[in-house]
A = this chain, B = another copy of it.
């Protein structure tokens, strides 16, 4: 594990995790995980399907009351989660889902702006089940962003989006980060996405963070850049994919 992560001063860190263990029945999902995330840091989390990424996020969000485990956790109160499923309340309209719990007309206004930003202007009054998969995901994103969290936990928030919409959402997220500087922990399966967005990339495997990689490429990052390709190859091999030719069968 990179040394810097444990040397953050308490004042400047957004997330502080020590010795985090989580298990379901006999299966240990997280095995004494340590992690620090600095304020404003953008961290991407990679890992195989079923490796425990969502479990980790839930633990950080304090949502695993019923899961066995131990450990020390410090997170800001003002955090926001984009769940792997969009998790919209089916009985509230789109705009109500975005502004859930936000008071007054200011909340309404912010919600409407957020919806427009994710490309869903005019769908405010729709029911969640009248939206396409990608549209639902974007509503969930808008709901999280409108709250301007100090810590954003996002579980594959772009999984159901096409290339263009995904790029737009990347831009949106970058701009928000630049503005409010939240710490971000983003789970994704897209290695390129991780490299182009994150300051730091973690790989979770068998309950351990087996990789903690700082990305020092200048932004905007060019996918053609050989350093980009090198990081990609390194990460993919960590994930068990041997490339040249990237995704040859």
Residue positions of A touching B, CB distance < 8 A: 24, 46-50, 53-54, 84-85, 119, 130-135, 138, 155-156, 159-167, 170-171, 174, 189, 191-192, 196, 219-224, 236, 239-241, 244-249
- Tell whether, in the assembled complex, residue A47 and residue B162 are in contact, meaning their CB atoms are under 8 Å apart: yes
Q: How far is the CB of A128 from chain B (nearest CB, A)?
A: 12
Report Cα–Cα, A106/B51, bound state, in Å.
32
Q: What chain B residues lie within 8 Å of A49 (beta carbons)? A: 119, 132-135, 138, 160-162, 165
- Identical copies in the complex: 2
* Given contacts A135-B49, A162-B189, A24 and B249 within 8 Å (CB-CB): no
Q: How far is the CB of A121 from chain B (nearest CB, A)?
A: 12
- Tell whether, in the assembled complex, residue A248 and residue B220 are in contact, meaning their CB atoms are under 8 Å apart: yes
Q: How far is the CB of A244 from chain B (nearest CB, A)?
A: 7
* Given contacts A48-B164, A50-B132, A223 and B245 within 8 Å (CB-CB): yes
What is the chain B residue whose CB lies nearest that of A222? B245
Partner of A248, one of B131, B189, B223: B223
Q: How far is the CB of A93 from chain B (nearest CB, A)?
A: 15
* Given contacts A160-B159, A249-B174, A133 and B54 within 8 Å (CB-CB): yes
What is the chain B residue whose CB lies nearest that of A50? B132
For the residues of A in contact with B, the DSSP-based class is: loop
Q: What chain B residues lie within 8 Å of A191 (beta carbons)? A: 163
24 contacts between A and B (CB under 8 A): A24-B130, A47-B162, A48-B165, A50-B131, A50-B134, A50-B135, A54-B132, A54-B133, A84-B133, A162-B189, A163-B191, A164-B239, A167-B241, A167-B249, A170-B249, A171-B249, A219-B249, A222-B245, A222-B248, A223-B245, A223-B246, A223-B247, A224-B244, A224-B246
What is the chain B residue whose CB lies nearest that of A49? B134
Q: How far is the CB of A158 from chain B (nearest CB, A)?
A: 9
Q: What chain B residues lie within 8 Å of A170 (beta carbons)? A: 249
